[in-house]
Structure 1
Amino acid sequence: QIGKIIFEDRKESNPCSLCAKMRKGALNEAVKALGCNKVAYAHHKDDVIETMLLSLIFEGRFHTFSPKTYLDRMDLTVIRPLIFVDESDVIGFKNKYDLPVQKSPCPADGYTKREYAKNLLKSLNHEHPGAKERMFRAILNGNLKGWPIQLSIMNTEGNQNDKCK
């Protein structure tokens, strides 16, 4: 239904942002219909960094989503409990426990700015081992709105790949 609105009715040339808002809106409405006041999104560490890269490249600002967000119009709190978990660990967990994953039905899947950021992050971390962890540390230390001060003092060092080339 969302795909029809975006691609057929509105004929969006850059559909990702609107689609994400509509999908989250539908999820949030379902959560509220169940009588809940909190919802957990499955954003992981790579999502945090990819969003920051997209913001830097396409908006010219240092920004990413916060670990916890209160949506006052819906009286709903969004939490992101996986922001310290690497995507590879999420995939490993999924594989270990043979969890089902719904493939994206989006016709643009794999050809998005998000995919570009994912590939860029992978490439940067390959060329400069530890770059991903340093970018995450920059986010933690960046005084971003919605990021608790306690997080900014956390030390994410200790990664054996955290070396400059």
Structure 2
Amino acid sequence: MKKILGNLRKAVSEFNLINENDQIAVGLSGGKDSMTLLYALKLFQKFSPVKYHLEAVTISMGFENFNFTPLKDFCNKIKVPYTIENTHIGKIVFDLRKEKNPCSLCANMRRGALYNVMQNRGLNVLALGHNKEDTIETLFMNMLYNGRIKTFLPKTYLEDRNIKVIRPLVYVSEHQILAASKRHSIPIVKSPCPVDKQTAREDTKNLMLHIYKHAPKAKDRILTSIKNKDQFELWFDV
């Protein structure tokens, strides 16, 4: 956990992610990333240079086979207030709309539900568990599927909602998260989503694993290139 906290602290400092008296909600899906993020932010409270309040929020998609008990127990154990918001997003996306590519609509609806819960509870910062690999995969997905050179930012601000969205794990590797979740007995609940592991993101993840195998330093070099705004040589400069 020491490496994760070190990388989290680096991101918080470099991108000014957390300010004094921020009211932070962790979007808790039950996956390894969000669960580890919640635990890391709870530990970081002890030595953070600024004070902040921490809660966890889960958006229930309406799937009957999702077990919330491990999430509730973990939040109770680390003494973090926990809210479950019940929705019918799963039914809307898969049964009513019958989306062939459901991920974008699902993500937008979940995010909207999260914002509503946050505003009702007086929370102004949403912390998401995207890690180093997620950052890189999003870059390649946008290039391959959307024709854009773009990935998510460590910090964004939604003026219409007065909510700041932060990603404190952008310097943390998936390997570090897996190791920490096992070492600290952080519970992980499998996603009940019908298209879990069958998405374009999963295909991109497998592509990147192939690249990392043949170019072991590619991960850090791609992340460095994302930050290197002075070294772009693209056609719009011609």
Query: What does residue 97 of structure 2 align with?
Result: 10
Count of residues paired in the alignment:
143
CA RMSD of aligned residues (A): 1.2
Query: What does residue 115 of structure 2 align with?
Result: 28
CA distance in 1, matches of 2:163, 2:134: 21
CA distance in 1, matches of 2:178, 2:108: 24
Question: Higher relative contact order at CA 8 Å, sep ≥6: structure 1 or structure 2?
Answer: 2
Residue 70 of structure 1: how far off its partner (Å): 0.5
Structure with more strand by fraction: 2
The one-character-per-residue Cα deviations of 1:111-136 (angstroms, maximum 9, x if unpaired) are 10010111111110001111111111
Q: 1:89 aligns with which of 176, 182, 186?
A: 176
CA distance in 1, matches of 2:172, 2:98: 36
CA distance in 1, matches of 2:226, 2:161: 27
SS in structure 2 of the partner of residue 69 of structure 1: strand
Query: What does residue 103 of structure 1 align with?
Result: 190
Runs (4+) of structure 1 exceeding 6 A deviation are none
SS in structure 2 of the partner of residue 78 of structure 1: strand
Which residue identity does 1:141 align to in structure 2? N
Counting only pairs closer than 5 Å after superposition, residues 41-60 of structure 1 correspond to structure 2 as: 41-60=128-147
In the superposition, the TM-score normalised over structure 1's length comes to: 0.83
Query: What does residue 29 of structure 2 align with?
Result: none
Cα 1:138–1:118 shift into 2, 3 Å: same
Query: What does residue 69 of structure 1 align with?
Result: 156
In the superposition, the TM-score normalised over structure 2's length comes to: 0.58
CA distance in 2, matches of 1:27, 1:123: 35
SS in structure 2 of the partner of residue 104 of structure 1: coil
Which residue identity does 2:174 align to in structure 1? E
User: What runs of 5+ residues in structure 2 fail to find an aligned partner?
Assistant: 1-87, 231-238
Cα 1:142–1:49 shift into 2, 3 Å: farther
Residue 23 of structure 1: how far off its partner (Å): 1.6
Which residue identity does 2:165 align to in structure 1? V
SS in structure 1 of the partner of residue 98 of structure 2: coil
User: What runs of 5+ residues in structure 1 fail to find an aligned partner?
Assistant: 144-165
CA distance in 2, matches of 1:102, 1:140: 33
Query: What does residue 161 of structure 1 align with?
Result: none
Query: What does residue 80 of structure 1 align with?
Result: 167
SS in structure 2 of the partner of residue 91 of structure 1: helix
1:19 matched to 2:106: yes
| Structure number, greater radius of gyration | 2
SS in structure 2 of the partner of residue 13 of structure 1: coil
Residue 64 of structure 1: how far off its partner (Å): 0.3
